[in-house]
């Protein structure tokens, strides 16, 4: 790729196009090829031809498709270090339908959308010539290109930067974040060599929030998330005797109505776009047809956390479940009584009570009765290894429920993988305030020069790799996570202590465009290719002066 004698915007466009042309769908061998391609680009820069040891690959351990992280280092005059990171995987291209074959051809897509009748805005954008289409153009091959062009820019300055500029390109952002999680050990190794991390800069994409919104949102952190799961074990009955059953599908339905998209669960943080929990899975566990009511049901929710912790989340989830089972208990008793007295049946000792426990509480309950949960979970884990992690978690919890000789109807609430820590700049401490002041100073200046309007927010609203660079939880919160996520060390081995030690605030100064994860995905060239690299350059220089 010829990058010499080109403006930075030309370089970024050229790199973006070459990256878009090369597919790297999450979970495919394309991810490794993309890593190699990025490595080769860095290696071609004059500085890295002279210093080949400053760019290297790190294998993601135990990774089924052999992912690699690419690191590049521009050594500075002090131990202060800024990390620049971007993910190279993209989602697939099924959304392109009949045009799937052309998903990596920006020029074809632009021509196609110039006559596209489906959506006026897309057509106008295509005709303006200001947008680059194609899978990954926005999310986030252009973000990689911005980092690469800046790496080239900094490497060609006469003076060394005031601190280390460390670049990381990783895969698996769109699924389980294996790339960034593996990178933590490398970041930790460098910390051991004296690197002092000031902050990380991610370029993941931003979009207008509403029609006509032209503001550029800069985020000083990223939302975290949990996946609280409910295993609901009822009491089966023949359909001919249905009123004696405890129906787990009814309990799950009630829990779903109580929690799903309920704005009462939204964290109220002024100025932030915080979101309610959403149901991602809801199934009864029957495997075949018969006339018995279902015995158990599984349901889990995506639960965003901004300032809240696992403890807060489990507390409100348990409260919601208790409310659901109590209401149903009352209703079931009433219905049964009405039916019984109508037919003149004799009274019968029957309870519709359902216990609600967190996994940690239930394990404690088992141990008190001399029942050992560990070998049971290990056996399940071995039997199902390699399957979907959520399925394994449910199978483990189910096996534990079956240890109860009384088969007590019960809701067990646990945390399923993955969880993403929330990463935010703590503006209450001096360092956090300083970083924010520097960022705002840079943005004000750029705003004056270019007329761009910036808004600084705290939480990147989508999920991002930056989450894994910092952890605010205290010991007790950590314990809530480790004790309620079954066999966390095997099922979801996130190096919690390393994250805590690194504690790198991740700022997102993102590429700008529309329709990420849709076939109309496109990046806005004037801002992304010209203004954005300058912002990052300025922020870099100013942060290194801290
Ligand atoms: Zn992304």
**Same structural domain for residues 435 and 462?**
yes
Domain membership flag for residue 491: no
Are residues 417 and 227 in contact, defined by beta-carbon separation less than 8 angstroms?
Answer: yes
- The answer to whether position 166 is within a domain reads yes
Domain limit, last residue, from 420, 437, 456: 420
Asked if residue 3 belongs to a domain, the reply is no
> Are 144 and 12 in the same domain?
yes
Rounded distance from Cα 516 to ligand 1 centre (Å): 8
The helices-and-strands tally (H runs, E runs) of the chain is 18, 16
The encoded tokens of residue 106 equal: 């920006």
How many domains does the chain fold into?
2
131 C-alpha to ligand 1 centroid (Å): 18
CATH number at residue 237: 3.30.70.360
What was the pLDDT predicted at 546?
Answer: 84
440 closest CA partner among 458, 428, 423, 424: 458
Domain end, chosen from 394, 420, 446, is at: 420
Give the CATH number, domain containing residue 116.
3.40.630.10
Please give the distance, rounded to the nearest whole angstrom, from the Cα atom of residue 274 to the centre of ligand 1: 19
Between the CA of 150 and the centroid of ligand 1 the distance, in Å, is: 19
Question: What's the distance, Cα to Cα, between the start and end of the chain in Å?
Answer: 36
Please give the Cα distance from 9 to 21 (Å, whole number).
18
**pTM of the full predicted structure?**
0.89
Nearest-angstrom CA–CA distance, 361 and 315: 12
Q: What is the distance between the alpha carbons of residues 384 and 380, in angstroms, rounded to a whole number?
A: 6
Same domain? For 231 and 320 the reply is yes
d(CA 240, CA 293) in angstroms, rounded, equals 10
Q: Is residue 399 located within the same domain as residue 447?
A: no
* Count of all residues that appear for the chain in the document: 546
Q: What is the pLDDT of residue 1?
A: 84
Are 122 and 207 members of one domain? yes
Distance 122 CA to ligand 1 centre (A): 21
Task: Tell me how far the alpha carbon of residue 172 lies from the centroid of ligand 1, in angstroms.
Answer: 10
pLDDT at 463: 84
Range of the domain at 179: 8-222+422-470+505-544
CA dist., res. 394 & res. 415, Å (int):
10
| Residue-level pLDDT, tens digit, the chain, 546 residues | 889 899 999 999 999 999 999 999 999 999 999 999 999 999 999 999 999 999 999 999 989 899 999 999 999 999 999 999 999 999 999 999 999 999 999 999 999 999 999 999 999 999 999 999 999 999 999 999 999 999 999 999 999 899 999 999 999 999 889 999 999 999 999 999 999 999 999 999 999 999 999 999 999 999 999 999 999 999 999 999 999 999 999 999 999 999 999 999 999 999 998 999 999 999 999 999 999 999 999 999 999 999 999 999 999 999 999 999 999 999 999 999 999 999 999 998 899 999 999 999 999 999 999 999 999 999 999 999 989 999 999 999 999 999 999 999 999 999 999 999 999 888 888 899 999 999 999 999 999 999 999 999 999 988 899 999 998 888 899 999 999 999 999 999 899 999 999 999 999 999 999 999 999 999 999 999 999 999 999 999 999 998
* Ligand 1 centroid from CA 464, angstroms: 7
Q: Are residues 152 and 252 in the same domain?
A: no
Span from the CA of 332 to the centroid of ligand 1 (angstroms):
47
**Per the domain annotation, does 498 fall within a domain?**
no
Kindly state whether residues 237 and 382 are assigned to the same domain.
yes
445 and 315 inside one domain = no
- Answer whether residue 493 is part of any domain: no
Q: Please give the distance, rounded to the nearest whole angstrom, from the Cα atom of residue 174 to the centre of ligand 1.
A: 7
486 falls within a domain: no
Give the separation between CA 447 and CA 454, rounded to whole angstroms: 7
Asked if residue 482 is part of any domain, the answer here is no
CA of 203 to the centre of ligand 1 (A): 9
Cβ(491)–Cβ(417) under 8 Å?
Answer: yes
Ligand 1 midpoint to CA 146 (Å):
14
- 157 and 302 in a single domain? The answer is no
Q: Is residue 489 part of a domain?
A: no
Ligand 1 center to residue 241 CA distance, Å? 52
Together in a domain, 385 and 331 = yes
CA 204 / ligand 1 centre spacing (Å):
5
Query: Do residues 268 and 354 share a domain?
Result: yes
Given 420, 450, 482, which residue is the final one in a domain? 420
Ligand 1 midpoint to CA 107 (Å): 22
Ligand 1 centroid vs 155 CA: distance in angstroms? 26
Query: Could you tell me the distance, in angstroms and rounded to a whole number, from the CA of residue 86 to the centre of ligand 1?
Result: 8
**Are residue 406 and residue 539 in the same domain, yes or no?**
no
């Amino acid at each position: 790729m010829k990058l010499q004698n080109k403006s930075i915007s030309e370089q970024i466009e050229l790199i973006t196009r070459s990256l878009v042309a090369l597919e790297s769908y999450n979970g495919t061998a394309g991810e490794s090829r993309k890593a190699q391609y990025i490595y080769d680009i860095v290696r071609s820069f004059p500085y890295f031809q002279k210093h080949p040891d400053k760019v290297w690959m790190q294998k993601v351990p135990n990774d089924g498709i052999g992912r690699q992280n690419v690191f590049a280092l521009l050594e500075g005059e002090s131990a202060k270090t800024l990390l620049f990171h971007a993910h190279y995987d993209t989602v697939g291209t099924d959304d392109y339908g009949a045009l799937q074959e052309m998903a990596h051809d920006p020029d074809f897509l632009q021509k196609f959308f110039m006559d596209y009748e489906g959506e006026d805005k897309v057509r106008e954008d295509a005709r303006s010539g200001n947008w680059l289409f194609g899978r990954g153009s926005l999310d986030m091959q252009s973000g990689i290109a911005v980092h690469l062009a800046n790496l080239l820019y900094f490497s060609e300055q006469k003076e060394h930067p005031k601190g280390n500029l460390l670049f990381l390109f990783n895969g698996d952002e769109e699924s389980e974040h294996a790339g960034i999680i593996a990178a933590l050990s490398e970041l930790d190794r460098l910390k051991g060599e004296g690197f002092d991390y000031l902050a990380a800069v991610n370029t993941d994409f931003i979009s207008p929030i509403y029609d006509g919104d032209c503001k550029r949102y800069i985020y000083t952190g990223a939302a975290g998330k949990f996946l609280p799961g409910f295993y609901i074990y009822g009491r089966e009955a023949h359909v001919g005797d249905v009123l004696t059953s405890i129906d787990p599908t009814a309990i799950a339905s009630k829990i779903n109505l109580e929690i799903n998209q309920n704005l009462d669960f939204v964290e109220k943080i002024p100025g932030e776009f915080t979101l309610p929990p959403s149901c991602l899975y809801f199934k009864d566990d029957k495997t075949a047809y018969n006339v018995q009511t279902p015995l158990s049901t599984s349901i889990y929710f995506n639960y965003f956390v901004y300032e809240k912790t696992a403890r807060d989340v489990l507390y409100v989830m348990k409260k919601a479940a208790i409310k659901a089972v109590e209401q149903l208990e009352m209703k079931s008793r009433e219905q049964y009584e009405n039916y019984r007295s109508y037919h003149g049946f004799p009274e019968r000792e029957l309870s519709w009570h359902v216990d609600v426990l967190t996994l940690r509480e239930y394990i404690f309950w088992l141990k008190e009765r001399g029942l050992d949960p560990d070998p049971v979970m290990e056996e399940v884990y071995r039997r199902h290894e390699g399957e979907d992690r959520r399925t394994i978690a449910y199978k483990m919890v189910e096996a534990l429920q079956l240890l109860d000789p009384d088969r007590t109807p019960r809701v067990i609430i646990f945390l399923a993988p993955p969880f993403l820590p929330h990463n935010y700049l703590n503006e209450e401490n001096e360092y956090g305030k300083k970083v924010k002041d520097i960022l705002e100073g840079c943005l004000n200046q750029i705003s004056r020069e270019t007329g761009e309007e910036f808004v600084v927010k705290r939480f990147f609203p989508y999920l991002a790799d930056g989450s894994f660079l910092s952890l605010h939880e205290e010991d007790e919160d950590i314990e809530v996570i480790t004790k309620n996520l079954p066999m966390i060390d095997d099922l979801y081995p996130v190096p919690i202590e390393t994250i805590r030690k690194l504690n790198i605030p991740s700022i997102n100064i993102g590429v700008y465009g529309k329709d990420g994860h849709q076939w109309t995905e496109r990046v806005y060239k004037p801002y992304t290719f010209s203004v954005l690299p300058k912002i990052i350059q300025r922020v870099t220089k100013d942060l290194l002066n801290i």
